[in-house]
Amino acid sequence: GLQVSSQRMRNRRKEIACRSDIERLTPCFLSIYESLIPPDEEKEKQKQLLASLEKLVNKEWPGAQLFLYGSCANTFGVSNSDIDVCMTLDDAGTSKSDILLKLAEILESDNLQNVQALTRARVPIVKLMDPVTKISCDICINNVLALVNTKLLRDYAQIDVRLRQLAFIVKHWAKSRGVNETYHGTLSSYAYVLMCIHFLQSRRPAILPCLQGMKATYVVNIDSVDYAYFDRVEELHDFGAVNNESIGYLLWAFFDYWAYCHDYANDVISVRTAGIISKREKDWTRRIGNDRHLICIEDPFEVNHDLGRVVDKYSIKILREEFERAADVLQYDPNPSVKLFEPY
Ligand code: ATP
Ligand code: MG
């Protein structure tokens, strides 16, 4: 395995893409990016739904608050996505399951549709659809860390627009090619965005800084653990300006990295440190339970959590073939902006 992949790397070195050729793709990918951005009305509708749901739950739990998280709040969401909502409340006595069942009952009696409590999921939720706006929504309970990692992603997005451009196109590619399904052993949208952040932190000169490596200006304490990082991102708006790589080239370089340069046998990518950590250091070298660590992406806050753990020996092959296909399409195909997103 190792020999084959280093051979592949060597072959590739000879024919590394010519930057000016690849940069010709930039206008085309920029217009795809623009077309994926959700219109302002959609954000407005989501906020209104959130407010009316909050009013409803406050009848049962006066102190409860609802927050958007995930792609509708981290600025990496495309049009017509489902929304992710987190309800926070002091639940000293009651179990999460009981709260979710009660919540489902309340929602159902208010005529929300397709209400379903999934109390046994890894993240237990209630699902619903609002018949007025047709927005589908998942509500989880007290998942405060998800709110913090949502803010981290949103803060990174504000530093350099190339992150949002790259992540939109990578997510669109992953959905089109069927490799954005944790259920089938491929990666979550959250994992892809972390891969994009890490990639832009690793450019030379760097396009993104390492917010968790800087002086903390934002600190939250959850279950007696502090989560902290520098969040005054408006002070960093020209951080990446010395690097003038455009989205066409970055997109190719992203796929080229995951196709031919990443060391799957030894390396863990880490946004927390803006670098690579060895699998050995994290003790992620062998399968433990269901965690196989075939592609390793460290969660920025739950550092024992590998977002690649859903990937198995079959899906790792599919993923790597898709990375190679994407890199090759961008480098050689006469019509890459169509071919890249071709349904699988
Ligand atoms: P989309 O719905 O557009 O595909 P998304 O950003 O909502 O994208 P998800 O991967 O469903 O994508 O993640 C939603 C949010 O849930 C993430 O932003 C993150 O806050 C949290 N999350 C998802 N997976 C994990 C995980 N494995 N560990 C920690 N938090 C996670
Ligand atoms: Mg989502």
Instruction: Transcribe 219-280 into DSSP letters.
Output: EEEETTEEEEE---GGGGTTTTTT----HHHHHHHHHHIIIII--TTTEEEETTTTEEEEHH
Token pair listed for 72: 């509708």
**C-alpha 21 to ligand 2 mean position (Å):** 35
Regions of the chain with pLDDT less than 70: 1-14
Counting from 1 in the atom list of ligand 1, the atom nearest the Cα of 146 is 20
Counting from 1 in the atom list of ligand 1, the atom nearest the Cα of 78 is 3
Token pair listed for 186: 């491929």
Q: Whose CA is nearest to atom 20 of ligand 1?
A: 146
**C-alpha 74 to ligand 2 mean position (Å):** 10
Express each pLDDT in 59-92 by its tens digit. 999 999 999 999 999 999 999 889 999 999 987 7
Q: Using a cut of 0.90, tell me whether the model's pTM lies above it.
A: yes
Say what the pLDDT of residue 4 is. Answer: 54
Q: Which ligand is nearest to the CA of 301?
A: 1
Q: Which ligand is nearest to the CA of 302?
A: 1
Express each pLDDT in 160-181 by its tens digit. 999 999 999 999 999 999 999 9
Amino acid present at 45: K
Say what the pLDDT of residue 1 is. Answer: 43
Say what the pLDDT of residue 219 is. Answer: 98
Q: Whose CA is nearest to atom 25 of ligand 1?
A: 190
Task: Write phi, then psi, for 219 (nearest 5 degrees).
Answer: -135, 130
Distance of CA 32 to CAs 36, 133, 188, 193, 256, Å?
Answer: 6, 26, 21, 18, 20
Task: Give the mutation target among 144, 170, 189, 309 for probing the ligand 1 site: most ligand atoms within 8 A of CB.
Answer: 189
**C-alpha 81 to ligand 2 mean position (Å):** 7
Give the β-pairing of 267-270 and 296-298: parallel
Q: Rounded distance, CA 304 to CA 299, Å?
A: 7
What is the enclosing helix (H) or strand (E) of 127?
Answer: strand 125-129
Nearest to 150 by CA among 189, 181, 178, 187: 189
Check: CB of residue 130 under 8 Å from CB of residue 49: yes
Task: Please list every protein residue whose CB sits less than 6 Å from any atom of ligand 1.
Answer: 69-71, 74, 76-77, 81, 84, 146, 149-150, 188-190, 299, 305, 307
**C-alpha 139 to ligand 1 mean position (Å):** 13
Task: Give the mutation target among 75, 171, 190 for probing the ligand 1 site: most ligand atoms within 8 A of CB.
Answer: 190
